[in-house]
Structure 1
Amino acid sequence: MLVTRKFSNILTPRTINSSVRSFQVCVMGGASEIGQAVSLMLRTEPAVSRLVIHDTWETAPGVVIELSHIPANSTLKGYVGEATMKRALDGSDLVLLVGGPLKTPGVSDKACLDANTEFVKTVSAEIGRLPKMPFVGVVAEPINSLVPMAAELMRNVGTFDGRKLFGVTTIDWIRAQTLFGTHHGMPPEDCFVPVICGHSDKTTVPLVSQARPGTNMTDTEIQKFVSQVRRYDEIVTLAKHGRSPSVSVAHGVHVFARAALAALGGRDAHVHAYIENNDLGTSYFSGLVQIDSNGVKEMTRYTDDISEYECQILEEALAQLRKDVAMGKKILEVD
């Protein structure tokens, strides 16, 4: 179904207002590099009345102590170890899975999947046992495979609502938006570039043809732009001498969380996310998603005026995405 939206209607950090209601947010993997940054941003988020930090790392109590030094109207609670996972999740409205090793250039998606599988499996099983499923945002990589795996686990355990499970892909949109604005000498917040399909260097598809405002970029410039968006993890990691992007990713998670909390508070909102969707022959797909208090309402589709180049890379990306989804589900079959 084709849904046409103006980019000015999208919730951004500038346009999202705090919800009147307050919510409990649980950061699973809160002692990780990204987890600490996300927790810092959420510590003073007005819509968060209770922030819960969970990790299996022994440094987790220190992270909670540090966060407690920041003046905030929300309560703060920390848990350590798998045995405390259920207590950490109980009562949560939004759960963010940010733990596990970060994806770095030179490390295959399969190796990253193997490293993060146990973390996502354990948390997903506990979420599935909750009496009511919260909104769940998966940040751990590779999202293309881990989100389908999490969904199957929750279905098998008990409680599952596909409208409430999201792979957080906001960073893809932020990067495309910023690069597009920089190229045109415009404030990035006044630009919008749809980014669809998956969340990896082979499956991320920026649609310059659908950008707002419109552009007169040459074919060469467009191809360079797409390559930059896809390679930004590598670019940042090289600049950080081997350390993966974390600050910008954490900001993207914060933008996602604010929109999710606005939706839980009764407002229609938008997130950039990877969700269950088979419109293009895959069971999962990423893009701009309208959400409300029940979760996903609909995903924006861009079917008109897509360039020949975009059709080509989308077809290639879809082929890879199907493999990624299958890889995530296959792990459960082996187990």
Structure 2
Amino acid sequence: MPTGNFKVCVVGGAGGIGQPLSMLMAMDPNVSELCVYDLSIAMVPAQGVAADLSHLNKKCSVKGYAFDKDDRAINVAGECLTGCHLVLIPAGVPRKPGQDRKDLLKINAGIAGNVVEACAKFCPEAVVALIVNPVNSVGHLMCELWKKKGLKASKIVGITTLDIVRANKFVHELTGAAMDDISVPVIGGHAGTTILPLFSQCKTARSIPAAQIPGLDKRVQDAGTVVVAAKNGKGSATLSMAYAGARLGKAVLAGLAGEASVECAYVASDGVLPYFSSQVSFGKDGVEKVHDIGELNTYEKIRLAELTPVLLDEINAGLEYARDNDFAS
């Protein structure tokens, strides 16, 4: 792998998450070429985002690609994706108030599926990292699609890093400990009660009274809703999500470069469920090792038992969609 010389593509790179994510990836010293890829009807043209980012005094060259839903789209995708080592996908539509998750799945699974199909064709060796809701359903579904192409499950990653970022920040606010000394593993999924921060495994967090842990746990689960409310329903957690996505992207690239790299991610697993978020070692083939969830305290064991059937239902919803729509065939 070309250490410090990676090609990265951000699909949906002109959107609310995509723009700041593209900027952060352009600043990564391991990235030499960045492709910003989005629909031609995007509010801000992908070429405009690329032109803006190309002025950063970094070594990374930046190109923008816009595509229509026509026959040319596949040619644009080929030029953009060929040779990519990492494809980040902050694509799809956000959940609207009152919208059923299955309705959201129908829309976003189709969008993500088209991108993953293109990646399988043009950059089958790339790591494909998903920021597509509902991640709990879409992650496993995209992995199954990828495997049906004869490709490795280790290349498909659901990004749950924002949960870790939030858990770490909230522990810092409670304890005053240095951020570099805080590392809270977060397991399970990436929605509501399926998110389980393991505060017992963070040395710094052990000073927090046990009575405060359920509230802290709930704060991590509800953090996204808090941001939506603070933005008066006019946006979601775009900036912090971009930061989290770039952190995961940095970890993947470090692994590809042969450096030790561990992050939590939602990946194919032989553990609690067939798809599950836990600590992952990244290497030259993407996901190199899925770590055991480790020792849990009583509270965490109860929470794990409660979240498991919920997460399994959401995983199965993705597979149900595949069956009903002749998807991943």
> Do the structures match in fold with TM over 0.5?
yes
- Residue 300 (structure 2) aligns with: 310
Selected match of 1:38 from 4, 17, 21: 21
Distance 1:297 1:72 in 2: 30
Distance 2:170 2:5 in 1: 35
Distance 2:180 2:239 in 1: 18
Distance 2:188 2:201 in 1: 15
CA-to-partner distance for each residue in 1:249-288, whole Å, 9 max, x for gaps? 10011111111111111112112210000311x1101011
- Residue 275 (structure 1) aligns with: 267
Selected match of 1:179 from 166, 170, 175: 170
1:298 has 2:284 as partner: no
1:1-335 aligned at under 5 Å gives the runs 20-58=3-41, 59-81=45-67, 82-83=73-74, 84-103=76-95, 106-130=98-122, 132-156=124-148, 158-242=149-233, 243-280=235-272, 282-304=273-295, 306-335=296-325
1:302 shift after superposition: 3.3
1:55 shift after superposition: 0.8
1:309 shift after superposition: 1.9
Unmatched segments (≥5 aa) in structure 1: 1-18
1:119 shift after superposition: 1.2
2:88 partner SS: strand
Distance 2:224 2:64 in 1: 30
- Residue 8 (structure 1) aligns with: none
Distance 1:93 1:216 in 2: 41
State whether residues 146 and 153 of structure 2, in contact with CA within 8 Å, keep that contact through their aligned partners in structure 1.
no
State whether residues 105 and 233 of structure 1, in contact with CA within 8 Å, keep that contact through their aligned partners in structure 2.
no
Farther-moved stretch of structure 1 (308-317 vs 56-65)? 56-65
Alignment-mate amino acid for residue 162 of structure 1: A
State whether residues 268 and 292 of structure 1, in contact with CA within 8 Å, keep that contact through their aligned partners in structure 2.
yes
Farther-moved stretch of structure 1 (82-91 vs 312-321)? 82-91
1:134 shift after superposition: 0.5
Q: TM-score, normalised by structure 2?
A: 0.90
Q: CA RMSD in A?
A: 1.8
Identity %: 29
Distance 2:98 2:201 in 1: 32
Q: 1:329 to 1:101 in 2, by over 3 A?
A: same
Q: 1:23 to 1:35 in 2, by over 3 A?
A: same
1:132 shift after superposition: 3.3
Higher RCO by CA contacts (8 Å cutoff, separation 6 or greater): 1
Question: How many aligned positions are there?
Answer: 314
State whether residues 104 and 233 of structure 1, in contact with CA within 8 Å, keep that contact through their aligned partners in structure 2.
no
Q: 1:131 to 1:209 in 2, by over 3 A?
A: closer
Distance 2:40 2:240 in 1: 23
Distance 1:47 1:274 in 2: 23
